[in-house]
Structure 1
C-alpha cells in the first residue's frame, strides 16, 4: 500500500495586522507581525496577500517592498488601492487584528550590496515606489556607506505625498539613525498635477538640470561619486535609467554591483 505523501508546507504564513494608516482614500500603510525567523535586507520585497474569498481557492498574493528597516520588529508596507484590483480592493479595508499572508522568501536588487561604494546615494521613487526608500533611509548601514542621501518622491497630487512629515522631520528624531541623518538626508518631493514648489516629473527635472541646481550640485550625475536606486512607475524607471546611462552610470545587480539599480520584478 502506497504511503500518502505529506503536504508541502505553504510558502506563506498568516500574520497579524498591528496598525493601519490611511493617507488618502486610495493610499494606505500598514504593519504586520514579523516572524522571528524572517530575515531580509533593507530595500527587499516579499509576497503578501489574502486568502481566497471563499476560503477554499488559492490566495491572492502580490510583491510588495518592505518599508520598515531590517532591524525592525514589525513589517511595514505602503500600498495604493487599484479599482477592481484582486488584492488591493480588499487589502484597503484591513483593520488591526486581521491577518495578512506573508511570503517566506524576501528578495530584490534595491539593496546596498548591489551598489559600488560611492559618496552620494539618490533614491528616486514615484507613488508607492517610496516604500523601499523608507527602509533604506532607516538603516544605519546607509550612512556608513554614503555621506549624502537624497530621497525623491514624485506624485500627482500634494495629498499623495505620504510620509512627507516623517521624511522632513520625524526621521531626524529616530533614536537609531536620527542624529547621523541630520544634515545628510535630503527629501525632494515633486508634484505633477497641482501647483507645488517643485512641479513636474522627476525625470524632467533631472534632464533640465533643475534637480541638480536645487540641491547645489553640478548638472550631472558623477559615476565616480553617485549611486542611484529607482522604484516606481515603469515609465519613470525606463526614462531615468536611460538618463543615468547617458551620464555614464552602469546598472548593477546582486551578482555584480554597479552605479545604479532598479527592481526588474516590478518593470513590465
Structure 2
C-alpha cells in the first residue's frame, strides 16, 4: 500500500511521541517517477509483514511533521526499514521526500497497522498477491517472510505497471530471492512472479483484471482458476483496479477477511498520491 494513504497530516512533534526519528541508509531512484529508500529501525518498532506505518518529514516552516502512510517493503525480521514510493512534483510530501539522501532524517510512526497480513486469511493452498504500481510494496515484505511459505504451497506475486521501466524489483522477484543464501531453499520451489505491462510491448501485456477474466494469467502460471476453497488473495494498488478485482472475487464466492474475522481475501482501501 504505497501511495496508499490518508491525506497528509500535520501535528506537533513531541519527544517520545508518535514518531521515531530514523536515518536514511540507502536511496534508489528507479525512474523519474519512482524511488525506494531504507532507514534505520528502532529496536522498539514491531510490525507484521504487510503492514504500513506513517512516514514523513518535519516541515521547515513550522517544525511540524508532514506524514502519510507507506507500506513497509522490508520483512518484519529485517534490521532496516524499506519503502517504495512515487514522486509527485507538487505533492506536499513526496515533492520533498524524493530529494532525501543518505544521512538525512525521516519520521517513522510508532504504530504499524493494516489489513494485508496473513492473519486476515483462512488457511489455503495458494496465496496470490495482486499489486499495481507501488502497491507491490507489501508483497516485497511478505515474499521475504518464511511464515508465508510455511502456510502456503504456492506463492504468486503479480505486478502490473504502465511501462516496462516501472517493473522495479523485477530482478529480485524473478531470480535473486530464489538464490538467497538463507531463504532461497524455502522460496525457490514455491514463488512465482508474474509481471504485466499495460502501455508498452512486453511478454505479458494487459490489465491484471483482464488477464484474470480471460484466464490468461492462470494459463501462463500453470495454475487452475481461482477457487475460494483453496486460493487466498491479497490486493493492493489503485482504487479502480482494486474495486474491479474485489468484484471479480466476490462474484466467485470469495469473502473478504480481517484479523478479527479471517476470510478468503484482504485488501488495502485508501490510495492517495501525495
- TM-score under structure 1 normalisation? 0.94
For 1:112-261, list aligned pairs within 5 A: 112-218=118-224, 220-261=225-266
Q: For residue 29 of structure 1, what is the aligned residue in structure 2?
A: 36
Q: How many angstroms apart in 1 are the aligned matches of 2:236 and 2:144?
A: 17
Separation of aligned partners in 2, 1:97 and 1:176: 29
Q: What RMSD in Å do the two structures reach over aligned CA positions?
A: 1.4
Structure 1 distance, partners of 2:85, 2:272, is 17
- CA–CA distance in 1 between the matches of 2:122 and 2:234? 12
Instruction: Give 1:42's match in structure 2, choosing from 49, 73, 77.
Output: 49
Q: Residue by residue, what CA displacement relative to the aligned partner does 1:86-113 show, whole Å, maximum 9, x if unpaired?
A: 1111111110000010000000110000
- Higher CA-based Rg: 1
Tell me which residue corresponds to 1:107: 113
Q: CA contact under 8 A between 1:124 and 1:152: conserved in structure 2?
A: yes
Per-residue CA deviations over 1:19-50 (Å, capped at 9, x if unaligned) read 00111111111100010110000000000000
1:173 Cα deviation from its structure 2 partner: 2.2
Give ranges in structure 2 of 5+ residues lacking alignment: 1-13
Which structure would you say has the larger RCO, counting Cα contacts within 8 Å and 6 or more residues apart?
2
Instruction: Report how far residue 133 of structure 1 moved.
Output: 0.1
Q: Once the 2 structures are TM-superposed, how far is the Cα of residue 128 of structure 1 from its aligned partner?
A: 0.2
Distance 1:63 1:216 in 2: 35
Structure 1 gaps, min length 5: 1-6
Alignment partner of 1:106: what SS?
coil
